[in-house]
Amino acid sequence: MPIDISRYSAPTKPAAPSKEGEGNAVANFLNRDISFGNGQFSDKKKESLYLELGSLLQAGINLKASLELLSDEQKGKDKLVYAQIQAAILNGASFSAALQQTHKFSLYEVYSLQIGEESGKQIEVMEGLAGYYQNKIKQRRKIVSALTYPTIVLLTSLGAVFFMLKFVVPMFGDVFKRFGGQLPWITEKIMALSQALEDGFGWFMLLVLALAGTAYAFRNAPAFKAFTSQSILRIPVVGGLVQKVYLARFCNSMRLLISSKLPLLKAIALVRQMIDFYPIASSLQQVEEDIMRGKTLHESLQRFPIYPRKMTQLVKIGEEAGQLDYFFDKLSVQYVEEVEYKTSTLSSVMEPIIIVFLGLVVGLILISMYLPLFQMSNGFQ
């Protein structure tokens, strides 16, 4: 059955994200840098839906009965979403159209399922989506697990340093003032730092809140996105890690869309709408224009530094061999493995560095406080 490509129009603006999935700050940050789509239906729920529904359809159970079985297992808001999908299908809508009406799924999924329905490969598309979200969840858990311990150690140690500068150092300062005399240079500097913290803490917090409010207000501005993304990419080690996270996401998305027989231009348009990382999103807009002018994909990608030369060369081979989806799959797997390796390595390196550095800081503060006491005790002898 031929696929009607003309009906795949440009993506519309997704619905505003919900407030589900609130957790600790570190996990939320990581989840937001790695995930994409509108974020209204969690990746775990999507994985479960596609995996279980695909299995039921593979067993010969029709779509209506399969959804009824899955709906019985849901609770609360999820049950309402499943009921909305069932109602839309009963009114004659396809499964992909029913998902789109809920505003809980990305256009990436909707178009993939729509092509699967028209080509008779709905089950294969569901298996692909389930595998994609399964790998995505696995990758996110590894990153969160690897970075949680160093983050906790860092925050705890900084809290200890703050406590010493805020409360312990002023106590010693009062003692030194009573005895008078010239204090060692290091002691004077630590006491000056403590006094600056005491005098400027309120202003510092106001500045942090003002910067946070400004960042939130301008978070969607292209100039702000360009500045923040370029700043992140310049950070040693972290920049390369972030780049590979988004390249893995780009390659995996392109692989799934191209393997679903979606035209290249439409696939790029969908990926551009889903990836909220300015260097890639802005470059894909230019890539679309270049392809419409007759350029190949690899020729356009190699204009932008965000795409490594090795990647563009493999894309070139994929274009010449007519196997873009295969090479995007290989690139995606490679980048995911590199991210996992670098994350675990970064975690292993960060832990001792943080402990040693902050141990030196705490030791320096203690020495600076006890050094005058040693001098005074020598003066009494």
351-380: pLDDT as tens digits: 788 888 888 888 888 888 888 877 766 654
Question: What's the residue count for the chain?
Answer: 381
Q: What is the pLDDT of residue 29?
A: 34
Segment 56-95, tens digit of pLDDT: 988 888 888 888 888 888 888 888 888 899 999 989 888 9
Q: How far is Cα 241 from Cα 145, in angstroms, rounded to an integer?
A: 16
Q: Identical fold at 41-135 and 138-380?
A: yes
What mean pLDDT comes out for the span 239-260? 85
What mean pLDDT comes out for the span 225-230? 87
Which of the four pLDDT bands, split at 50, 70 and 90, describes residue 139? confident
Mean pLDDT of the chain: 80
Segment 277-299, tens digit of pLDDT: 889 988 998 999 999 988 899 99
**Per-domain residue ranges of the chain:** 41-135, 138-380
Q: What is the pLDDT of residue 369?
A: 82
Give residues with Cβ within 8 angstroms of 342, minimum separation 6.
Answer: 237, 240, 241, 244
Q: How far is Cα 95 from Cα 88, in angstroms, rounded to an integer?
A: 8
The span from the first CA to the last CA of the chain, in angstroms, equals: 101
Fold of 138-380: Receptor-associated Protein (1.20.81)
What mean pLDDT comes out for the span 158-166? 84
Q: Does 317 score more than 90 pLDDT?
A: yes
3-state secondary structure 58-119: HCCCCHHHHHHHHHHCCCHHHHHHHHHHHHHHHCCCCHHHHHHHHCCCCHHHHHHHHHHHHH
Q: What is the pLDDT of residue 146?
A: 75
> In the numeric block, which tokens belong to residue 56?
């039921």
Give residues with Cβ within 8 angstroms of 287, minimum separation 6.
Answer: 268, 297, 300, 301
What mean pLDDT comes out for the span 195-200? 80
Which of the four pLDDT bands, split at 50, 70 and 90, describes residue 258? confident
CATH code for residues 41-135 = 1.20.81.30
Q: What is the pLDDT of residue 379?
A: 53
Q: Which of 88-97, 233-242, 310-319 has the lowest mean pLDDT?
A: 233-242
Which of the four pLDDT bands, split at 50, 70 and 90, describes residue 316? very high
What mean pLDDT comes out for the span 169-185? 77
Of residues 155 and 30, more confidence is placed in 155
Q: Does 17 score more than 60 pLDDT?
A: no
What mean pLDDT comes out for the span 256-278? 82
Q: What is the pLDDT of residue 174?
A: 77
Q: What is the pLDDT of residue 175?
A: 77
> CA 246 from chain center: how many Å?
8
